[in-house]
Amino acid sequence: MIRDYLKKDYYTRPDIQYNGLMLVRILADNPGPTFTRNLDQDFAKTVKDLLKGSRSDRVRQMVMETLTSFETTKFYDEGLAPLIEMWKKEKEKAQKSTSSVR
């Protein structure tokens, strides 16, 4: 369900994408692993597509902040492993493209 809000269908509705990201952040904290164990490679791909294709700087920044937070504070959560691995591979490109836009 949350994955649907992050897909291309909502690129013209950044408010929905932002809300979806907030839900992921909240649910990763509480209930934590009960929620994150359901995040798989497909979810990581959806987030990667959002990171690369978002038309909203606000959403893109939120994705980057969320992934950085997961990498530094939730590295032990096995359910977040696909997201963290994707972020490790994409972080440098994402940060360069964001700094070149500004």
Average pLDDT over residues 46-72: 95
pLDDT at 101 over 70: no
Give the number of domains in the chain: 1
Predicted confidence at residue 1, as pLDDT, reads: 79
Contact 70, 28 (CB under 8 A): yes
Q: What are phi and psi of 88, to 5 degrees?
A: -60, -35
- Reported confidence tier of residue 30, pLDDT bands at 50, 70, 90: very high
Residue 12: other Cβ atoms inside 10 A: 10
Helix (H, G, I), strand (E, B) or coil at 17: helix
Helix (H) or strand (E) holding 14: helix 14-29
- The residue segments making up the domain with residue 26 are 2-101
Global confidence as pTM:
0.90
Which H or E run contains 43? helix 41-53
